[in-house]
Amino acid sequence: MLDILLVTFPFFALVLAGYVAARRRMLPLEAISGLNTFVLFFALPCMLYRFGAGTPIAQLLDPSALLTWVVCALLMVAGTVKFSMNARIRWNDASFGALVAAFPNTGFMGVPLLVALLGAAAAGPAILTILIDLVVTSSLCIALSRLDSADEHGAAEAAKKALKGVALNPMPWAILLGGLSSALGVVPVKPVMNTIGLLADSASPVALFTIGAVLARSQFLAAQEEHAPLPLRDFVPVSLAKLLVHPLLVWGVGLGARALGLGLDAFTLKVMVLVAALPSASNVSLLAERFGADTGRIARIILLTTAAAFFTFSGVVALFS
């Protein structure tokens, strides 16, 4: 267990450092958008491209892993929406609660952490889950969030806008370019590849620091908007579902897929379970703010899962070890 904590501690320590820096205003809140832009449009795409280019294309296009993750994502979304809906929480808030329950922080945290724990082979399955969550899970939840104030045409329009957002997101394009490089055996010339390498090396520390800063900013903005204390039942069960139910579900569905002979190998399933055990994706708070959901609730879920994942994620790793 100590060996595991020696690997995971620096990752969560950087998140904490970013949170403290923003809370104490050592990092101005206005500067967080710049950090986010650097990570999202420069460093992280280079890291994903490098991992994608170094991963066999069969791992990036594994149909059994894709099917397993899609099924689990749909079950998590359906279950969380069903459990969350009440007189106060309607489609908009329930849908974004489902998104934080089903969408791990794979890009900013998961890929570098899993590679540090399991080696470069872990990048392929983790990158596949990013594509699914960006295209399928996010689009579905955004479409569902529009059911409060629109008919099925409004939901369809929301899904189209979500897919447009995916098309403008550099992460899937970086993954696709990396996959093409892997399939064709073509890489950029050395000076360009060295530049990509420098940006890729900066992705992990800056992204982790940015996660903490974004969490602090989300909490600050949510506190300004909130008029009444948020009941624990509105965010604690969703946090537990993310950290405990999601990995158990992936493990169970994955074992079922293996029993049916779908060709899901044990290592890929292990990586996917660990991805599911990650905390919620921090960028969901930005989506919730954009679509008018309860940002206070979403920020609390992300903050709680990020803080608790230091223990729960390390525990899942220890169980698999």
Task: Encode pLDDT of 229-258 as tens digits.
Answer: 678 888 899 999 999 999 999 999 999 999
Residue 274 confidence (pLDDT): 97
Contact 73, 136 (CB under 8 A): yes
Statement: residue 80 has pLDDT above 90: yes
- According to the model, what pLDDT value does residue 152 have? 52
Percent share of the chain, pLDDT over 70: 93
Residue labelled with tokens 């394009």: 173
| pLDDT greater than 80 at residue 266 | yes
Checking if the pLDDT of 150 tops 70, the result is no
Q: Is the pLDDT of residue 92 over 60?
A: yes
Task: Give which of 46, 66, 53, 109 is closest to 278, Cα–Cα.
Answer: 109
Determine the 3-state secondary structure of 235 from DSSP. coil
Q: Is the pLDDT of residue 159 over 80?
A: no
Number of domains within the chain: 1
Q: With CA atoms as reference, report the closest residue to 126 among 288, 284, 273.
A: 273
Q: What is the CATH number of the domain that holds 219?
A: 1.20.1530.20
240 touches 49 (CB < 8 A)? no
- At residue 71, the 3 state secondary structure works out as helix
Q: What range does the domain containing 23 cover?
A: 2-320
Place of tokens 């099917």: 67
pLDDT for position 265? 92
Question: What pLDDT, on the 0 to 100 scale, is given for residue 209?
Answer: 94
Task: Estimate to the nearest angstrom the gap between the alpha carbon of 83 and the chain centroid.
Answer: 21
Find out whether 313 and 277 touch, Cβ atoms under 8 Å. yes
Q: What is the pTM of this model?
A: 0.88
Higher pLDDT, 61 or 278: 278
> What's the CA gap between 18 and 22, in Å, rounded?
6
Is residue 71 scored above 60 in pLDDT? yes
CA proximity to 66, closest of 254, 281, 266, 255: 254
pLDDT for the residue numbered 302: 92
Name the residue with higher pLDDT: 95 or 5: 95
